[in-house]
Structure 1
Amino acid sequence: MRRKIGKLLLLAVFLLPLTIHAQVLEPVKWSFSKKELEQNKYELTFKAEIEKNWHLYDLTLPEGNISLPTVFTFKNSDGVELIDSIQRKSEVLEEMDELAGVMTRYYANEAVFSQVVEISEPEDTVKVSVEFMVCDDEQCLPPTEETHEYTFTEDKAQGAATPAKKDDSSLIGFFLLAFVGGLLAILTPCVFPMIPMTVSFFMHSGDNKAKSKFQATVFGLSIIGIYTIIGTIVAITLGPSFANWLSTHWLPNILFFVIFWFFAASFFGMFELTLPSWMVNKSDKQADKGGVGGAFFMALTLVLVSFSCTAPIVGTILVESAGGQVLKPITGMLGFALAFALPFGFFAFFPRLLSNMPKSGGWLNSVKVILGFIELALGLKFLSVADMTYHWGLLDRDIYIALWIVIFSLMGFYLLGKIRFAHDSEVKHISVPRLLLVIVTFTFVVYMIPGLWGAPLKALSGYLPPMKTHDFDVQRVVRDNVKLYAGSVQNTNGQNQQNNMFQMSGTNSEACEDPKYADFLELPHGLEGYFDYEQGMACAKAQNKPVFIDFTGHGCVNCREMEANVWSDPRVQKILRDEYVIIALYVDDKKKLPEEDWYTSEYDGKLKNTIGKKYADFQISRFNVNAQPYYVLLDHDEEMLTEPRAYNLDVEAFIDFLETGIKNFKSKQ
């Protein structure tokens, strides 16, 4: 469940040069306390005091987020039982990460969490480990771990006072999405025709307009209440405690994929989703009694009868919110219900306006079918999550894009009337709104086609698998062919010297072996280098070149900005490729080191057993800095050639930095 740590680091925007000389930053201080709730039951409290302008990420983050969530791990003695899940006790802030294009959640000033445990014996212990990441407006720090062991031999312990739980993160976007879903549900063939049928119920009051409007109000509020109760049940039964499992495990993602495609089949007319007739009949009988109860049961009857059309949309909203905060499914159902209830309540208040409504017909079934195509496309997202998490290789980026192209092409042909389903009527002519939708659909298809050959399709980056899963990338092919051509050169004797990954200029070429970890780590822009410090240094000595160390991370946004805006300059690439041996050290990679390479850090006394932990420790221990990106130039004696650099998008300054390193290296020869 914690393997989601492959997504990491949101790094900063403007790292001041003074950071180079700064001490190791520790902007978060953790304190641990406990208090006895009742006999043998304790509340363990974990409080993080966060320095001004820094923030700590939440326990769960929306899908697509590249930041590292805070993760608590418990190791208990046999007699200890964890009661429920860990609870938030502080306000969670939420805002849009403009670079990543997704929402992120974090804490400022302080973050308090708690876990209730029940013990069997006073000698029982609980060891808690919290892994977390913090950022400010200028930089992010690599993953840090704090541990604490609780004992219960004392009779009672003073617990830290904590504020009441809050969960008031911004949910406006999801509310609006669900609201749109409610509007779409109205346009389905089992809902839209019911508007005049249902509103006639309120015309039985004759001239008693006050009673009629009161009943209409009860009717509309009942619809909202029924759907909101559904959301509340989901919030209580699922809620945030399942968020990590829902977002990473293959079982729920495959289940959601099947649910989406099942609903799509229903919208296409393969079968109807129906409730037992006794349930609908009983509600209908209660509605006939009139009064407040009658208005409520009229609303319940509407919800039940329209189930076959609304269930796929409601199910989609609940699936999307199942891994979110407690308020998310409630908010989603409130938004859906509000939109769904609006026309019924409105026409119940003003029944004379019914004559102005458009007549129902075949266009309603077209709405269902279009929603079915959209369900097919969105369902692939869940299959993709499972595929990437478990490395199945079933749904690479190009296959995913191809499926979307086919799905939306079929939708376009359906809108043109070239494809018909069982319940569709013949399309004798194309209306203007339908033509506009056809244009939008095929424009979207044309936009996606270049993605089959490696186009980035930035507008869809939140839905598509990563570029590294793309089998055929034109840019990569061109780049590899250029390398192959450049490597096939005539030597002075006229013999053809084949290209090797690294062309050796020194005598000890055997030292420049194939890079470790190159099967899952890579450098940008086709640059070649090493991901292991010792291996890179050996190659640098063999080639008699200085070393360019890049302290980086998988989710380091500022690292990617440097690569996109500075490293992309042809002059920078030429210097890096020709004059340096590049060593990229990932401070956040979770790949386990061979057990014989594990060691205990002299800096913090903790075990370092992954690539990321090793090189985060190396950066701190050697250079007294723990923020990325961080660039260091070294000679063969591992001495710095010039002052290191951090995040700065000044290309000319970066070139000067590289050239200064070369000049100083040559002066030592």
Structure 2
Amino acid sequence: MKKSIFSILLLLFAVVVQAQIQEPVKFKSELKTSQAGEAEVVFTGTIDKGWHVYSTDLGDGGPISATFNVESISGAELVGKVKPVGKEVAAFDKLFEMKVRYFENTALFVQKLKLTGGEYKVEGFLEYGACNDENCLPPTQVPFKFSGKAEGTAVNGPAADKAADAGNVELEKSSDTAQTADMAVIGGAESNTGINVAGDGTTDLWKPVIDELQALGETVSQEDMSWIYIFITGFVGGLLALFTPCVWPIIPMTVSFFLKRSKDKKKGIRDAWTYGASIVVIYVGLGLLVTGIFGANALNSLSTNAVFNIFFFLMLVVFAASFFGAFEITLPSKWSNAVDSKAEKTGGLLSIFLMAFTLSLVSFSCTGPIIGFLLVQVSTTGNMIAPAIGMLGFAIALALPFTLFALFPSWLKSMPKSGGWMNVIKVTLGFLELAFALKFLSVADLAYGWRILDRETFLALWIVLFALLGFYLLGKVKFPHDDDDTKVSVPRFFMALASLAFAVYMLPGLWGAPLKAVSAFAPPMQTQDFNLYNNEVHAKFDDYDLGMEYARQHGKPVMLDFTGYGCVNCRKMELAVWTDPKVSDIINNDYVLITLYVDNKTPLSSPVKIMENGTERTLRTVGDKWSYLQRVKFGANAQPFYVLIDNEGKPLNKSYSYDESIPKYIEFLQTGLENYKKEK
């Protein structure tokens, strides 16, 4: 009976621990021998949906690369480096300012070996990094150990010595002292590990507090509303295209044609509905065609590719010049004439569909830039149907007036006549295209490291563009197709006011102000050369034990920030939340901030062997040490992870993960302070 109760309690404890410990990637290793003297160590990983595992050789300053590490090897030699196998996704990461490669769903890494004959033994581990849209895992190790006997002839001489030296480079770096590595167990008495295990009777700062933390609850992250956003973006794009000179004048002519071509009014309305539906089918089909040709992942990679962004930058500049009146861009007239002629010769639904197709061709000079920009933007979601959803919103906005005016023909009389106001909209779109063109150039600039479009340069250009747009709307700047009428309508005045106000809003950004409204478009803050903004948060310590000792001496609570150099959402939290004046004031003045990087590759003075959940593990780097602290003490392994503790290492509030809500974060900090004061 006692054994049963103990088993149940152990199971409940395991469930509590697993509440935060995430295992989105599961690897298995195997040794495959192909022919005499050759073998491969194969690592096969299964990745949960939404997560990805980074590939090899990504370079410094980026996410955690997959690496093959040897601890001991005999009777075999490494042949080259570990190789990623399968379909990699390559994309430019704006945060790290570099191109990264990763796997989704399945990851495969292969390390070739040469067996020199006789007994062989290979032992080591594969280390990899994994992230999703909200969290990153610390560097994770997949241990392996293979031994056996192989037929072959041992290789002797200089070549063999050279190969052996290459094969043992990791062994020399990290395992020379492995045989004498310290053994530490939480609560034990070993003292030469660099880990506080409280063997001297003092407070054990590494003691697990999982039960206390779980009792306080966890924060739920925000839900994804990307599909609604994509549809709305497409709809707004369709409305903009609707009020251009390429589309607006066609509406009354087309509706009148449908109502007059048939004596039956109901049939005319039906034809207009069919026309609108045909527009929707054409543009949704375009969205599906783009994704079908490239594929969702390829489209996502293409949208962040430096060469593609340069091309799109140049294309938008050309379209903007066309909108300003420098020249006219149209598709070959024989295309639209051929389709129009085909529509006249056919009847029924096919003729209506061909008329809708003619509209798509004729209006290309106005709709092309909008559609192109929309497809590029939605492709970054990596979702197969995202371009179709965007095109659905665009097409519904474009087709709406044709059906509405067909249902209510009297509205045509009150419809604004074509005139100079449409050229104003066209020129305004030209300014917006130039602004977005700089956004695409910025991606290429970051990729190649040109540093010609740093944050303040980008903002200066945007300030000038939106200021000029404001002056244009006020009639102070003229383009070739503008009327000479100097009167400014009320709507045009308010548009000018908004544009000039936006330009003024961006001015403080030249001196380092965050400008959250344009943070999605402007280059990252670290590219700013001249920064007077000092409302930033900096950690007092990057060592847990030293920081805790400082906090004890000064009588302050502690905020632990488990982060990583490869953690994208950690940087988002620091820029979007920590820069808030109230947040930064509380962290800087009321807490001792200790930032612990779980992917810090600085080696420990000597490897530390620990027992974790009955399994022996080796901590080799500073990052391993902090990752181990997060797992064992707090039962979590994803970043960002924020936890507030007192001077004895006990939690003061529920933990906090990725959520950019500033009020929630302030409440999180203030609750911790209140609980700390109650303890005192």
Q: Same fold (TM over 0.5)?
A: yes
Q: Do structure 1's residue 552 and structure 2's residue 609 form an aligned pair? A: no
Q: Do structure 1's residue 615 and structure 2's residue 597 form an aligned pair? A: no
CA gap of 1:529–1:266, structure 2 versus 1, over 3 A, is same
Aligned-partner Cα distance in 1 for 2:336–2:642: 62
Aligned-partner Cα distance in 2 for 1:651–1:170: 32
Aligned-partner Cα distance in 1 for 2:502–2:367: 27
* Aligned equivalent of 1:629: 642
* Aligned equivalent of 2:458: 400
Does the 8 Å contact 1:280/1:304 carry over to 2? yes
> AA paired with 1:177?
T
Q: Do structure 1's residue 308 and structure 2's residue 303 form an aligned pair? A: no
CA gap of 1:544–1:415, structure 2 versus 1, over 3 A, is closer
* Aligned equivalent of 1:585: 596
Equivalent of residue 217 in structure 1, options 253, 259, 273: 273
CA gap of 1:610–1:352, structure 2 versus 1, over 3 A, is farther
Cα deviation per residue 1:624-644 (whole Å; 9 max; x = unaligned)?
Answer: 7647324678xxxxxx76646
Aligned-partner Cα distance in 2 for 1:245–1:593: 32
Does the 8 Å contact 1:238/1:322 carry over to 2? no
* Aligned equivalent of 1:252: 308
Equivalent of residue 355 in structure 2, options 266, 282, 298: 298
* Aligned equivalent of 2:157: none
% same residue: 38
Does the 8 Å contact 2:627/2:637 carry over to 1? yes
CA gap of 1:341–1:643, structure 2 versus 1, over 3 A, is closer
Structure 2: runs of 5+ lacking an equivalent: 1-12, 29-43, 54-62, 69-79, 91-103, 110-125, 145-223, 656-666
Q: Do structure 1's residue 335 and structure 2's residue 346 form an aligned pair? A: no
Spell out the pairing of 1:80-229 with structure 2 (5 A cutoff).
82=86, 113=105, 131-132=130-131, 142-143=137-138, 145=140, 171-229=227-285
Aligned-partner Cα distance in 2 for 1:23–1:130: 20
Cα deviation per residue 1:281-322 (whole Å; 9 max; x = unaligned)?
Answer: 110101223522221111111111111111111111111122
SS at match of 1:185: helix
Structure 1: runs of 5+ lacking an equivalent: 1-17, 34-43, 49-55, 61-69, 87-111, 118-126, 150-167, 480-523, 634-639, 664-669
Aligned-partner Cα distance in 2 for 1:298–1:175: 25
SS at match of 1:207: coil
Give the aligned CA root-mean-square deviation in angstroms.
Answer: 5.0
* Aligned equivalent of 1:435: 493
Does the 8 Å contact 2:52/2:130 carry over to 1? no
1:352 Cα offset (Å): 5.0
CA gap of 1:351–1:251, structure 2 versus 1, over 3 A, is same
* Aligned equivalent of 2:39: none
Structure 1, 272-281 or 310-319: larger mean CA deviation:
272-281
> AA paired with 2:130?
E
Does the 8 Å contact 1:321/1:328 carry over to 2? yes
* Aligned equivalent of 1:379: 437
Aligned-partner Cα distance in 2 for 1:564–1:368: 38
1:347 Cα offset (Å): 3.1
SS at match of 1:552: strand
CA gap of 1:217–1:655, structure 2 versus 1, over 3 A, is closer
1:343 Cα offset (Å): 1.7
Spell out the pairing of 1:59-70 with structure 2 (5 A cutoff).
none
Does the 8 Å contact 2:273/2:402 carry over to 1? no
The count of aligned residue pairs is 500
Does the 8 Å contact 2:21/2:635 carry over to 1? no
> AA paired with 2:456?
D
- Structure of higher RCO (CA pairs closer than 8 Å, 6+ residues apart): 2
1:224 Cα offset (Å): 1.2
CA gap of 1:315–1:340, structure 2 versus 1, over 3 A, is same
Spell out the pairing of 1:228-307 with structure 2 (5 A cutoff).
228-242=284-298, 245-246=301-302, 248-289=304-345, 291-292=347-348, 293-307=350-364
Does the 8 Å contact 1:601/1:617 carry over to 2? no
Q: Do structure 1's residue 410 and structure 2's residue 458 form an aligned pair? A: no
CA gap of 1:27–1:629, structure 2 versus 1, over 3 A, is same
Q: Do structure 1's residue 470 and structure 2's residue 465 form an aligned pair? A: no
Cα deviation per residue 1:594-629 (whole Å; 9 max; x = unaligned)?
Answer: 899999987687898887555324544688764732
* Aligned equivalent of 1:46: 46
Aligned-partner Cα distance in 2 for 1:301–1:337: 15
Aligned-partner Cα distance in 2 for 1:596–1:391: 36
Aligned-partner Cα distance in 2 for 1:622–1:402: 48
Aligned-partner Cα distance in 2 for 1:567–1:80: 43
Aligned-partner Cα distance in 1 for 2:445–2:584: 31
Aligned-partner Cα distance in 2 for 1:232–1:376: 28
> AA paired with 2:336?
V
Equivalent of residue 21 in structure 2, options 23, 26, 38: 26
* Aligned equivalent of 2:515: 457
CA gap of 1:148–1:285, structure 2 versus 1, over 3 A, is farther
Equivalent of residue 378 in structure 2, options 321, 331, 341: 321
TM-score with structure 1 length normalisation?
0.61
Aligned-partner Cα distance in 2 for 1:200–1:575: 71
CA gap of 1:419–1:28, structure 2 versus 1, over 3 A, is same
* Aligned equivalent of 1:426: 484
Does the 8 Å contact 1:227/1:333 carry over to 2? yes
Does the 8 Å contact 1:84/1:116 carry over to 2? no
Does the 8 Å contact 1:182/1:339 carry over to 2? yes
SS at match of 1:191: coil
Does the 8 Å contact 2:305/2:444 carry over to 1? yes
1:387 Cα offset (Å): 3.9
